Amino acid sequence: MNKRLLILIWTLVTVLLLAGCSTQPRLGGAVRPAVHSAVDLDTVRAGAFDTGKMWTFDYPPVDYFERTYSFRPTPQWFEQARLAALRLPGCSASFVTADGLVMTNHHCARGALDAVNREGENLPQDGFYAATLEDERKIPNYYADQLVLIEDVTDEVVRAFEQGKTDEERVRMRQNAIAEIEKRYAEKTGLICNVITFYNGGRYSLYGYKRYTDVRLVFAPEQELGYFGGDPDNFTYPRYALDVTFYRVYGEDGKPLTTSTYFPWSAAGAAEDEAVFVLGNPGRTNRLLTVAQLEFMRDYQYPFLFRALDNLVRIFSDYLAKHPDKKLQYQTQLFSYSNGHKLYEGRLKGLRDPITLAKKRDFERTFRSSVATKPQLQRQYVALWEEIERLQTEKAALFAENNAFTFRRIGRSSLFGIAFDIVEYAKQMRRPENERDQRYRGNALEQTKDRLVSAQVDVELERTLLEFHLTWMRDAFAGRNEHFNALVGNRPVSAVAAELLGSTILTNKETATWLVEAGPDAILASTDPFIAFIVKTDAQATDVRRRVSDVESREAARVQMLGRALYDVYGTSIPPDATFTLRMADGVVKGYPYNGTVAPPVTTFYGMYDRFYSFGKKEPWWLPDRWQTPPPTFTMSTPFNFVSTNDVIGGNSGSPVVNKNLEVVGLIFDGNIESLPNDVLYSSEVERAVSVHSAGILEALRSIYNAERLVKEIRGGKTSQ
Amino acid sequence: MNKRLLILIWTLVTVLLLAGCSTQPRLGGAVRPAVHSAVDLDTVRAGAFDTGKMWTFDYPPVDYFERTYSFRPTPQWFEQARLAALRLPGCSASFVTADGLVMTNHHCARGALDAVNREGENLPQDGFYAATLEDERKIPNYYADQLVLIEDVTDEVVRAFEQGKTDEERVRMRQNAIAEIEKRYAEKTGLICNVITFYNGGRYSLYGYKRYTDVRLVFAPEQELGYFGGDPDNFTYPRYALDVTFYRVYGEDGKPLTTSTYFPWSAAGAAEDEAVFVLGNPGRTNRLLTVAQLEFMRDYQYPFLFRALDNLVRIFSDYLAKHPDKKLQYQTQLFSYSNGHKLYEGRLKGLRDPITLAKKRDFERTFRSSVATKPQLQRQYVALWEEIERLQTEKAALFAENNAFTFRRIGRSSLFGIAFDIVEYAKQMRRPENERDQRYRGNALEQTKDRLVSAQVDVELERTLLEFHLTWMRDAFAGRNEHFNALVGNRPVSAVAAELLGSTILTNKETATWLVEAGPDAILASTDPFIAFIVKTDAQATDVRRRVSDVESREAARVQMLGRALYDVYGTSIPPDATFTLRMADGVVKGYPYNGTVAPPVTTFYGMYDRFYSFGKKEPWWLPDRWQTPPPTFTMSTPFNFVSTNDVIGGNSGSPVVNKNLEVVGLIFDGNIESLPNDVLYSSEVERAVSVHSAGILEALRSIYNAERLVKEIRGGKTSQ
Query: What tens digit of pLDDT does each residue of B475-511 get?
Result: 999 899 999 999 998 899 999 999 999 999 999 999 9
Q: How high is the pLDDT of residue A718?
A: 82
CB contact under 8 A, B595 and A600: no
Average pLDDT for chain B: 91
Q: What single DSSP character describes residue A129? A: E
At A2, the amino acid letter reads N
Average of per-residue pLDDT across A443-462 = 88
Spatial separation of the C-alpha atoms in residues A604 and A612, rounded to whole Å: 13
Lowest mean pLDDT among A6-20, A224-238, A620-634, B323-337: A6-20
What kind and span of H or E run contains B9?
A: helix B5-16
Instruction: Provide the pLDDT confidence category of residue A379 given band limits of 50, 70 and 90.
Output: confident
Average of per-residue pLDDT across A465-492 = 93
Which one of A595, A607, A636 has the shortest CB-CB distance to B594?
A595
Contact B418, B375 (CB under 8 A): no
Closest alpha carbon within chain B to A230? B597
State percent of chain A over pLDDT 70. Answer: 94
pLDDT surpasses 60 at B370: yes
Instruction: Provide the pLDDT confidence category of residue B15 given band limits of 50, 70 and 90.
Output: very low
Closest alpha carbon within chain A to B25? A38
Partners of A125 in the beta sheet? none
pLDDT surpasses 50 at A6: no
Chain B contact for A41, CB < 8 A? yes
Which one of B34, B235, B601 has the shortest CB-CB distance to A596?
B235
Spatial separation of the C-alpha atoms in residues A311 and B452, rounded to whole Å: 70
Lowest mean pLDDT among A503-517, A689-703, B81-95: A503-517
CB pairs under 8 A between A and B: 158
Instruction: Provide the pLDDT confidence category of residue B39 given band limits of 50, 70 and 90.
Output: low
Provide the sign of the torsion angle of the four alpha carbons A623, A626, A632, A636, taken in this order: negative
Q: What single DSSP character describes residue B23? A: P
CA gyration radius for chain A?
Answer: 26
Average of per-residue pLDDT across A286-300 = 96
> Over the stretch A331-347, which tens digit does the pLDDT of each residue have?
888 988 999 999 999 99
Closest alpha carbon within chain A to B237? A595
Q: How high is the pLDDT of residue B10?
A: 34
Q: How high is the pLDDT of residue A720?
A: 64
State percent of chain B over pLDDT 90. Answer: 83
Please state, in angstroms and as integers, the Cα–Cα distance from residue A720 to each residue in A64, A98, A672, A708, following that order.
41, 11, 38, 11
| Residue B79 Cα to chain centre, angstroms | 27
CB contact under 8 A, A37 and B596: no
pLDDT surpasses 60 at B552: yes
Chain A contact for B602, CB < 8 A? yes
> Over the stretch A120-139, which tens digit does the pLDDT of each residue have?
999 999 999 999 999 999 99
Chain A contact for B30, CB < 8 A? yes
Note which residues in 627-646 of chain A have CB less than 8 A from chain B. 636-637
pLDDT surpasses 60 at B546: yes
Chain A contact for B372, CB < 8 A? no
pLDDT surpasses 90 at A34: no
Q: How high is the pLDDT of residue B721?
A: 58
**Chain B neighbors of A34, CB-CB under 8 A:** 33-36, 353-354
pLDDT surpasses 80 at B29: no
Q: How high is the pLDDT of residue B19?
A: 29
Which one of A272, A607, A672 has the shortest CB-CB distance to B616?
A272
Please state, in angstroms and as integers, the Cα–Cα distance from residue B369 to each residue in A265, B362, B364, B373, B391, following that order.
72, 11, 8, 6, 22
Average of per-residue pLDDT across A654-669 = 98
Contact A687, A672 (CB under 8 A): yes
Which one of A24, A607, A685 has the shortest CB-CB distance to B38?
A24
Query: Peptide bond preceding A620: is omega within 30 degrees of 0, i.e. cis?
Result: yes
Q: Which residues contact A641 (CB under 8 A, 6 or more apart)?
A: A237, A238, A239, A240, A241, A602, A603, A690, A691, A692, A693, A696
Convert B605-669 into a string of H (helix), E (strand) and C (coil).
HHHHHHHHHHCCCCCCCCCCHHHHCCCCCCCCCCEEEEEECCCCCCCCCCCEEECCCCCEEEEEE
Average of per-residue pLDDT across B461-465 = 93
Note which residues in 322-361 of chain B have CB less than 8 A from chain A. 342, 346, 349, 352-355
**Chain B neighbors of A29, CB-CB under 8 A:** 593, 685
Partners of A217 in the beta sheet? A137, A247
Q: How high is the pLDDT of residue B8?
A: 36
Give me the sheet containing B689-693, strands edge to edge.
B55-56, B583-588, B275-280, B656-658, B664-671, B689-693, B639-644, B602-604
Q: Which residues contact A133 (CB under 8 A, 6 or more apart)?
A: A256, A719, A721
Chain A contact for B617, CB < 8 A? no
CB contact under 8 A, A606 and B603: no
CA angle B20, B21, B22 (to 5 degrees): 125
Query: How far apart are the CA of A169 and the nearest CA of chain B, in angstroms?
Result: 41
Which one of B31, B37, B353 has the shortest CB-CB distance to A27?
B37
**Chain A neighbors of B232, CB-CB under 8 A:** 597-598
Closest alpha carbon within chain B to A26? B38
pLDDT surpasses 60 at B9: no
Instruction: Provide the pLDDT confidence category of residue B81 given band limits of 50, 70 and 90.
Output: very high
Q: How high is the pLDDT of residue B631?
A: 96
CB contact under 8 A, B33 and A39: yes
Spatial separation of the C-alpha atoms in residues B485 and B491, rounded to whole Å: 10
**Chain B neighbors of A233, CB-CB under 8 A:** 597
Instruction: Provide the pLDDT confidence category of residue A721 given band limits of 50, 70 and 90.
Output: low
CB contact under 8 A, A32 and B38: no
Q: How high is the pLDDT of residue A20?
A: 26
Instruction: Provide the pLDDT confidence category of residue B714 given band limits of 50, 70 and 90.
Output: very high
Q: Phi/psi at A701 (nearest 5 deg)?
A: -60, -40
- If one counts every other C-beta atom within 10 angstroms of the C-beta of residue A369, the result is 9
State percent of chain A over pLDDT 90. Answer: 83
Average of per-residue pLDDT across B614-641 = 97
> Over the stretch A350-376, which tens digit does the pLDDT of each residue have?
999 999 999 999 999 999 999 999 888
Partners of B413 in the beta sheet? none
Considering A23-37, B22-36, B333-347, the range whose residues carry the highest mean pLDDT is B333-347
Spatial separation of the C-alpha atoms in residues A313 and B535, rounded to whole Å: 72
Note the ipTM here: 0.90
Contact B511, B505 (CB under 8 A): yes
**Chain A neighbors of B233, CB-CB under 8 A:** 597
What kind and span of H or E run contains A250?
A: strand A245-250
3-class DSSP assignment, residue A149: strand
Lowest mean pLDDT among A45-59, B12-26, B187-201, B366-380: B12-26
Q: How high is the pLDDT of residue A147?
A: 98
Which one of A35, A595, A597 has the shortest CB-CB distance to B32?
A35
> Over the stretch A688-700, which tens digit does the pLDDT of each residue have?
999 999 999 999 9
Please state, in angstroms and as integers, the Cα–Cα distance from residue B181 to each residue in B87, B154, B155, B362, B534, following that order.
22, 11, 12, 38, 40
pLDDT surpasses 90 at B554: yes
State percent of chain B over pLDDT 70. Answer: 94
Closest alpha carbon within chain A to B672? A596
Q: Which residues contact B95 (CB under 8 A, 6 or more apart)?
A: B84, B86, B101, B102, B249, B259, B261, B262, B263
pTM of the predicted protein model: 0.90
pLDDT surpasses 60 at B7: no
pLDDT surpasses 70 at B22: no
pLDDT surpasses 90 at B11: no
pLDDT surpasses 70 at A26: no
pLDDT surpasses 50 at B32: no
Tell me the DSSP string of A606-671: HHHHHHHHHTTS-TTS---HHHHS--TT--TTSEEEEEE-----TT-TT-EEE-TT--EEEEEEEE
Mutant choice from A26, A44, A613, A643 vs B, greatest count of B C-beta within 10 A = A613
- If one counts every other C-beta atom within 10 angstroms of the C-beta of residue B382, the result is 14
Burial class (CB in 10 A: 0-12, 13-18, 19+), B168: middle
Cβ-count burial A216-241 (b if 16+ within 10 Å, e if not): bbbbbbbbbbbbbbbbbbbbbbbbbb
> Over the stretch A412-450, which tens digit does the pLDDT of each residue have?
889 999 999 999 999 999 999 999 999 999 889 999 998
pLDDT surpasses 80 at A37: no
Contact A476, A403 (CB under 8 A): yes
3-class DSSP assignment, residue A320: helix
Query: Peptide bond preceding A624: is omega within 30 degrees of 0, i.e. cis?
Result: no
**Chain A neighbors of B600, CB-CB under 8 A:** 611, 614-615
Q: Quick one: which of B368, B238, B116, B128 has its CA closest to B670?
A: B238
CB contact under 8 A, A33 and B31: no
Average of per-residue pLDDT across B190-214 = 96
Spatial separation of the C-alpha atoms in residues A342 and B529, rounded to whole Å: 62
Identify which has the larger pLDDT, A15 or A403.
A403
Chain B contact for A188, CB < 8 A? no
Query: How far apart are the CA of B74 and the nearest CA of chain A, in angstroms?
Result: 33
Spatial separation of the C-alpha atoms in residues A221 and A669, rounded to whole Å: 15
Closest alpha carbon within chain B to A603? B614
Instruction: Provide the pLDDT confidence category of residue B335 given band limits of 50, 70 and 90.
Output: confident
> Over the stretch B640-676, which tens digit does the pLDDT of each residue have?
999 999 999 999 999 999 999 999 999 999 999 999 9
**Chain B neighbors of A349, CB-CB under 8 A:** 35
**Chain A neighbors of B598, CB-CB under 8 A:** 232
CB contact under 8 A, A38 and B30: no
Average pLDDT for chain A: 91
pLDDT surpasses 90 at B528: yes
Query: How far apart are the CA of A59 and the nearest CA of chain B, in angstroms?
Result: 34
